[in-house]
Structure 1
Amino acid sequence: MQSLHRIPSLEQLSALTAAAAHGSMGAAARELGISQQAVSARISAAETLMGLAVLERSSGGVRPTGQGQLVLAWAERVLEAARDLGDGIQGMDASGRTLLVAASNTISEALLPQWATRLRRAHPDVALQVEPGNSRSVIEAVTNGAVDLGYVETPQIPRGLRSRTVAHDELIVVAPPDHPWARRRRGIDTAELSMTPLILREDGSGTRTHIQQALPGHASPLHTLASTAAVRDAARTMGVPTILSSLAVVDDLATGRLVRVKVTDLSMPRALRAIWNPHQRPRGPAAELLRISTQPSRSPRRGPRVPPA
């Protein structure tokens, strides 16, 4: 086992991989929460220990050497194994723990219940506490370290956070069955959609952010409401169209309470993401929930398809 004497520590391997990933000692320092001098010292110590140069330094930053590329690939595998070991150990000692999760409305309503059921089977002694809100409030909670894990719909993730795509959905236009749009076999176009006041989610929600990007200059909303359920209910009772996640209106489409309206020149697919603070990496039950949420799951029931033009 003499070869183990030349293996850098996990801290040194983390400094190497972070610097290589960012191409910068300074960026690696920010990710690891240490000084740039400490990053440089860890890298130099690792290279001395191994007897080879892993990174090539220049005024423009750092990049892997030929040998360094191979070393970095091995280092990633070692770090991943170490993370798995840490998560497993922490998971064994998670009895009685409360897992704090912040989730945007669509995810908390449409996806988190099935994830929570699977987490309960794996960790029956862990209490899952979910704080629903919009994407802006979720990002704030994760940034401040107030929760273990967050789930958002917004397309913009702050650079200081880590993220992983867990699902995909699509924003669609829906209307009550007695609305004129519901009877248009050929649908509407973005010009008509943009001129029409709708019931929408509030500013700060991932849904509203996507709409603002897809339809710049859209007419001011007729009403703004702070939850997906409230928007859905208001659209049905007031007879006004809205734009919501396809996941949020599955049952309404299936029962005919709402009808999907075809927009001939617009589609709004999006990615739903888990986010976490790099200084508070998901471990134990949080890591298990992250794993569960990234696994393929059975698709929800689909409502009636939009008739072809």
Structure 2
Amino acid sequence: MHITLRQLEVFTEVLKSGSTTQASATLALSQSAVSAALSDLENQLAVKLFDRVGKRLVVNEHGRLLYPRAMALLEQAGEIEQLFHDGAGALRIAASTTIGNYILPRMIAAYRRDFPEMPLDLNVGNSADVIAAVADFRVDLGLIEGPCYMPELLTQSWMQDELIVFAAPDHPVLQAPVTLEALAAAPWILREKGSGTREVLEHLLFSHLPHFNLIMELGNSEAIKHAVRYGIGISCLSRRVVEEQIEAGILREVVTPLPPLMRTLYLIHHRQKHISQALSRFLSYCR
């Protein structure tokens, strides 16, 4: 068997794009060369990697099995090519909103001070987006605010984070001792479904409330803070997100009758992901 890196590269690009035409444009090869490389790979493996549906190529169970291993080999080959280049160790990181906006910047700053020439891309989205990016090998590492249940991903506990309920200083919920009934009746502004914060809140907080009054869902924490500041409703976010506004008196913490709302933050990567020297080095800053 003489599988080549070019054949694996063609296979992964055809899988990503769904066509030999797009793959040929990406790889700067002729369409016939792409088709030939894919055909040679399938002949050597003695299986079909795609189902042919009209002019479309739809990856099948054999292709899905090969993809993570092909990506791992290509990444290792790329590392060999970059060993003696200044840009070695380019990293792609994805983080959910709270982590990406409020926790990672300090760690990335320390990493950049020690390795100023090493490229690092950070994408910020909700936890569902981060999990999908890690599963698809679009990023090397994910940092999320809730548990991950995908068997193909490795999940590692990272750090603890406290969530707090907060309101505008003059909100009616603060005018008397806070009860579960008062929390249930208050208007709530929450992160969208798919965010780690929302998933944890439904488990830690709203499981204690038979009903709650959800009036608005917003896609980022900054929008929620502004909405709460102007009295639209109350919310619950990481203490890290609102601590400056609480110290300034713009927002106030709502002390609830419940125990502290603690959650675990997680690191995730694909089981087939090759842990490069650059990624291992970045992980040491996270610790």
Q: Aligning the two structures, in what range does the TM-score lie when normalised by the shorter sequence?
A: 0.5 to 0.7
Residue 225 (structure 1) aligned to one of 215, 218, 229: 218
Task: State how far apart, in whole Å, the 2-side matches of 1:222 and 1:163 are.
Answer: 33
Deviation track 1:15-40 (CA, whole Å, cap 9, x = no partner) reads: xxxxxxxxxxxxxxx9xx89xxxxxx
Q: Does 1:136 align with 2:123?
A: no
Q: Which runs of 5 or more structure 1 residues have no equivalent in the other structure?
A: 1-29, 35-88, 295-309
Q: Does 1:213 align with 2:206?
A: no
Question: Which residue in the other structure is 2:182 paired with?
Answer: 192
What secondary structure sits across from 1:211 in the alignment? helix
The 1:165–1:93 alpha-carbon spacing in structure 2 relative to 1, beyond 3 Å, is farther
Equivalent pairs: percent with the same residue?
A: 31
Contact 1:91 1:285 in 2 (8 A): no
1:265 is displaced (CA, Å) by 2.4
Contact 1:201 1:226 in 2 (8 A): yes
1:191 is displaced (CA, Å) by 3.3
1:92 is displaced (CA, Å) by 6.9
Task: State how far apart, in whole Å, the 2-side matches of 1:178 and 1:262 are.
Answer: 15
Question: Which residue in the other structure is 2:86 paired with?
Answer: 95
1:192 is displaced (CA, Å) by 2.6
The 1:107–1:93 alpha-carbon spacing in structure 2 relative to 1, beyond 3 Å, is farther
Question: Which residue in the other structure is 2:268 paired with?
Answer: 275
Question: Which residue in the other structure is 2:285 paired with?
Answer: 292
The 1:124–1:90 alpha-carbon spacing in structure 2 relative to 1, beyond 3 Å, is farther
Task: State how far apart, in whole Å, the 1-side matches of 2:219 and 2:85 are.
Answer: 34
- Structure 1 segment 1-309 matched on structure 2, within 5 A: 95-96=86-87, 97-184=89-176, 186=177, 188-214=178-204, 215-216=206-207, 217-294=210-287
Question: How large is the RMSD of aligned CA atoms in angstroms?
Answer: 2.5
Contact 2:173 2:186 in 1 (8 A): no
Segments of 4+ in structure 1 off by > 4 A? 89-94
Task: Tell me the matched-pair count.
Answer: 208
Contact 1:105 1:134 in 2 (8 A): yes
Deviation track 1:241-284 (CA, whole Å, cap 9, x = no partner) reads: 11111111111111111110011124310011111112114322
Task: State how far apart, in whole Å, the 2-side matches of 1:160 and 1:93 are.
Answer: 32
1:101 is displaced (CA, Å) by 0.8
What secondary structure sits across from 1:116 in the alignment? helix
Q: Which runs of 5 or more structure 2 residues have no equivalent in the other structure?
A: 1-64, 70-79
The 1:271–1:254 alpha-carbon spacing in structure 2 relative to 1, beyond 3 Å, is same
Contact 1:276 1:282 in 2 (8 A): no
Amino acid at match of 1:167: M
TM-score by length of 2: 0.66
